[in-house]
Structure formats: structure tokens, C-alpha cells
Structure 1
Amino acid sequence: MVLKSPTVRHRRLGRELRKLREEAGLLPEAAAKQLGWSRQKVNRLENARTMPSATDVADICDLYGTDSATKAGLIQLCKDARQRGWWTAYSDVLAGSYVVLEAEATAIRTWEPLLIPGLLQSEGYARTIIQGGRPELEKAELERRVTARMTRKITLLSANAPTFHALIDEGAVRRHASPADLMATQLDEILQVMDRPNVTIQVMPSAAGLHLGLQGSFSVLSFDPEDPSVGYTGSPGGDLYLEAATPVNRLMLTFERLTAMALSPEQSADLIAAVRSDYD
């Protein structure tokens, strides 16, 4: 299932509206008729394909006989779902829903067999990666994309930072870059962030050989208990978001298996430090 909802709170609001309708014993057609809406509008609101107004939510609550506290809570949730996040300032260079989900996640698990994960990238590393993939970019747009990627890192530094567990292949750690100090700086930043209590970083050793993770990178983002986790995989051909329980659970199981194969966080820090010393 491809995710099209812009925010977690928006999806939560849709689920709550559907739950209230069902508890009221109304089919979508009946609810739409009494509200003076089309059935399509009711479906779009409940599936988080359209953002309701506060008035829409109030009208729904009145029809379903919702108590005043629940009504007030849903109206506030509607307002919160409309809030502009930092990413809206970069809508010209950021596509898709990933940064929105990332900013709202309580736990982020990511596996990267080729590159340093985006949340751990240094400015120089990010600039080189972005420019390599988009050599046609003008300098101003390139720098704007780099700034957007660096701004993403506030996710790990905020007061409500999520837990972040990254598995990185040894090849990505040892990959050479030009100039030589680019990779040294990148490794320094990884070693520094490893000390944060919410961050766990493990390296998959080359000695692990062939394994399922080599099929590609992926992330699983988890939220409050009432919100289902979302899986994500990206490629030059586009991004794929997974909401259905079966594929998300499959990604979680794969992550657990890869975690068991990887070096411990302490061993990983030693390996990264050893690779970093080669640049001295």
C-alpha cells in the first residue's frame, strides 16, 4: 500500500472519524446524506486523503453524538495536523512524505548497505552525494538541498528526539571519497553522535558475506502505540511507503536479523575509529 497521507496526525484523525461513524451505526452513505456531503468526501476524510476543516470535524462530531471533550480533542487534532513543519520551507527541494514521518516518529530503524544514512551525513558528504546524483543542479539549488538535509538532523537533536538505530555496511564506512578529509570528517561526526543516548549504530562486517540486507536499504518508522509503523524504501526510480502490517512486519524481522549479524555498538565504534585513524 503506497502512503499518500502527509502526516501521522492526519491519518490518526481519519481513523478516529471512521471509528466514531461506525460507533454511531452509520454507513458512509447515510453519514454523507445527513451532513449534506458526497460519499466521496466522507471516504476521503476517513482515509486521510483530504484534510477536514475544524468546522467539518465539529459537524461530524455533532452528527455522531460525540461528547464535548472528544469533540474538542478532535478539533485540536485537526488544527495540529495542519501545522507547518520546518520541511515546508523546503517544499521546492523536498518531495514525498518521508521527512514529515521522520519528524513525527518515536523510533527510527534504518539499514544502509551503500551509503551513510541521511541523518548521519556530514555537510561535505551530503553535498558530494547530492551533486553526484544531480550534476545538472545550479549551485544555489545544490546548496539549498544540502541545507535541507542538514536541517533534517534536528530530528536527532531535539528535546523529543526519537530513538535512532542505524545499521551500516562496512563498505559504506570504508568507501573512499575525494578530498580525503571528507570521509575523515564524516567518520568523526558518526563517532560523535554515537555518544547520544537515543542513538545506536552498528556496522555490518564484510565477513558477514551474502545476506538478505544486500537487496537494498530500508527504514521502519514507528510512532505512538495507536499509530501503525510505516516502512520506507527509496531508489532513483522513486520512493515506496508501506503501511500494511504484513510488509512492515517483514521489514522489522529483516532488521532484527541484520542487527543480530552486525557488530555490537562498541565493536562498531572501534571499527569506525580504526578506519578514521587511517586518514591521519
Structure 2
Amino acid sequence: MASIPSPTIRARRLRRELRRLREAAGLTAESVATELGWHRSKMIRVELGHSRVTQQNVQDLLRIYQPSAEDRETLSTLARQARLKGWWNAYGDVLPDDYIGFEAEAAAISTFQSLYVPGLLQTEEYARAIILAGRTTADPDEVDRRVAARTARKALLSRDVPPKLWIILDEAAVRRVVGGHRVMRAQNARLIEACGNPRIEIQILPFVAGAHAAMGGPFTILDYDDPVLDPTIVYVDNDATTALLEEEEQVARHRLVFDHLRAKALDPDESAEFLKRVADEYPSQ
């Protein structure tokens, strides 16, 4: 799978830079929209990412902002890169939101999952069982494409410098029998194998830990190499709705919750032993 700069990340950088230049020029979104003959809502959509930023949009805005030659070159490059197609574009019908594009360049992925093993560590059969359970009316082709997309995501863990992956799993995620005992034995073996990877930390949050700070549901924190260029994002997904949170207060709140979960969960060595005990409980046939 060819590696290209994530268009999703570049589009986000482009929006942030355009807003920075507007503010540096002392201009309001309304005044810029008026000068360009745009509705004010279009400026808001462009800066918030609710509307695609075209090359022409960028040129029009740069004409008003009058940036330095260096900034102009940077923005032109970002605009070109934002129009590229990531591998996930081929699965646009089954990957409807931007999460995969943001995940593609993450330096660290910290996730809490309460009901199932996260996609990056799912076996194909486990993934298929999860997808079938959530989409009882899906046709076989759609299920196959969803499985293929989830499998393709795993290439992230094989890149030259893979992201640091920190997973906290509620005990329910490894106790719930998904797809039958054979599927669970293979899935559990995958988790045990991952415990030996120096780039992956797995912690189990046991039932005996009681109530905890993430009773409201799972979430994922995505950190990047340069937090100035690419600030942290929190992704919340409960199947009914998804949200990408970027405000500093929202990120700080979820990071604090994750720290509380880490403190309550078994440490990585204890978690590996826990997974081995669970594996022994599955019938061999």
C-alpha cells in the first residue's frame, strides 16, 4: 500500500493556516466573505471543515491576506495535498467519516474500548462477526468490503515507524463470545501476541474495578509528531453517532479520563497474564 501524506490531515492544516492568516491580517470572517461575494456561512464552513476548500478558494483568500512568499508556497502545497486520494477513498461507501484519514498519520493512538477489541487488533473472522452483528440487513458484498477496509487499516502497524498504540479494554470486551469459541481463541491469541510488541501496550480493566470514569462509552485519542501543526484529536464513536473533538478543553478532559482508566486497570504484565487465563477458559473444540 503506497504511503502518501494524509489528505485529511493536510486539509485540516490548510483550514487552520487560512484562519491564522485571516486573524493575523485583522480581518473578520464576515468582512472577507463580503469582499469575495461569499455568504458568511461559507467562510465558517471553510474554516471549520464543513465545506471543501478548492484551489480557487485558496487563491482568492491569499489575494486578500497577502501572506509571505513562504506562507503562500506552504498553503499552495497543502491545497494540492488535500486533493489527493488516500487508500481509504476506495472504501468511501463503507468508511463514511474522516477518522481513518486522521488515524493514518497518528504518532500515538490511545483508546478505551468497552465492548469489543479495537479494529487495529481484530482478526478477520472476529471483524466479520462484529460487522454482521451490527448490520443484520447488510448484503454479503458490503460485509466483505467492510472487512477488507478494516484489514487494510492494519498496514498502519507495519509502517517504518508505527504509532504507539495504548489500549485499555474493559473485561467485557474479552469475555463476550463473538463469532464462537474458535473465533475468540484466535482473537485472544492475537491480543496475547500484541502484548509482546514494544509499540503496543494493552491493559485490561477488570469487572472488580467497579465504576470508572468512562462509563459513558469508548473513545480514542490521536496524537501527532508535531502538536503545533497537528493538535490532538479525540474521536468518540458509539455506533449511533460519531464525533471528532478538537477543543483543548475536550481533549484535556478525555486525556484525564484515560489516565484514570490506566490507574484502575491491570498493568500490562498483569493484563497479559489475564488474557492467558481467559484463553484457557475457551473450550478447545
TM superposition score normalised by structure 1: 0.89
Secondary structure, aligned partner of 2:252: helix
Deviations 1:149-173 (A, max 9, x none): 1112222222242221100012222
1:46 is displaced (CA, Å) by 2.5
Aligned to 1:277: 280
Do 2:171 and 2:207's aligned partners in 1 also have CA atoms closer than 8 Å?
Answer: yes
2:271 is aligned with 1:263: no
Question: Which segment drifts farther, 59-68 or 111-120?
Answer: 59-68
Gaps of 5+ in 2: 1-6
Aligned to 2:3: none
1:248 is displaced (CA, Å) by 2.3
2:256 is aligned with 1:253: yes
1:35 is displaced (CA, Å) by 4.4
Distance (whole Å) between structure 1 residues aligned to residue 29 and residue 178 of structure 2: 57
1:228 is displaced (CA, Å) by 2.7
Aligned to 1:189: 190
Distance (whole Å) between structure 1 residues aligned to residue 250 and residue 29 of structure 2: 29
Deviations 1:127-182 (A, max 9, x none): 11111121222222211111111112222222242221100012222323443211
Do 2:120 and 2:154's aligned partners in 1 also have CA atoms closer than 8 Å?
Answer: yes
Distance 1:20 1:274, change over 3 A: same
One-letter identity of the residue aligned with 2:274:
L
Secondary structure, aligned partner of 2:75: helix
Distance (whole Å) between structure 1 residues aligned to residue 30 and residue 244 of structure 2: 30
Secondary structure, aligned partner of 1:236: coil
Deviations 1:25-52 (A, max 9, x none): 3333443454455544433332333333
Do 2:126 and 2:179's aligned partners in 1 also have CA atoms closer than 8 Å?
Answer: no
Map 1:218-257 → 2, pairs under 5 A = 218-223=219-224, 224-226=226-228, 227-257=230-260
Q: State how many pairs are aligned.
A: 275
Aligned to 1:99: 100
Do 1:58 and 1:71's aligned partners in 2 also have CA atoms closer than 8 Å?
Answer: no
Do 2:112 and 2:167's aligned partners in 1 also have CA atoms closer than 8 Å?
Answer: yes
Aligned to 1:172: 173
Secondary structure, aligned partner of 1:237: coil
Question: Which segment drifts farther, 233-242 or 142-151?
Answer: 233-242
Distance (whole Å) between structure 2 residues aligned to residue 143 and residue 258 of structure 1: 34
Instruction: Give the CA RMSD over aligned residues.
Output: 2.2
Do 2:125 and 2:179's aligned partners in 1 also have CA atoms closer than 8 Å?
Answer: no
Distance (whole Å) between structure 1 residues aligned to residue 41 and residue 240 of structure 2: 31
Distance (whole Å) between structure 1 residues aligned to residue 143 and residue 129 of structure 2: 10
Deviations 1:176-211 (A, max 9, x none): 344321111101111222333321111112221222
Distance (whole Å) between structure 1 residues aligned to residue 29 and residue 212 of structure 2: 47
1:112 is displaced (CA, Å) by 1.1
Distance (whole Å) between structure 1 residues aligned to residue 277 and residue 161 of structure 2: 32
Question: Which segment drifts farther, 74-83 or 222-231?
Answer: 222-231
Question: Which segment drifts farther, 116-125 or 59-68?
Answer: 59-68
Distance (whole Å) between structure 2 residues aligned to residue 45 and residue 213 of structure 1: 33
1:82 is displaced (CA, Å) by 1.8
Question: Which segment drifts farther, 11-20 or 27-36?
Answer: 27-36
Map 1:1-280 → 2, pairs under 5 A = 7-35=8-36, 37-223=38-224, 224-226=226-228, 227-279=230-282, 280=284
Distance (whole Å) between structure 2 residues aligned to residue 30 and residue 174 of structure 1: 58
Distance (whole Å) between structure 2 residues aligned to residue 108 and residue 241 of structure 1: 14
Question: Which segment drifts farther, 111-120 or 207-216?
Answer: 207-216
User: Percent of counterpart pairs with the same letter?
Assistant: 40
Secondary structure, aligned partner of 1:88: helix
Deviations 1:52-102 (A, max 9, x none): 333432343343232222211111111112221111111111122222222
Distance (whole Å) between structure 2 residues aligned to residue 22 and residue 237 of structure 1: 36
TM superposition score normalised by structure 2: 0.87
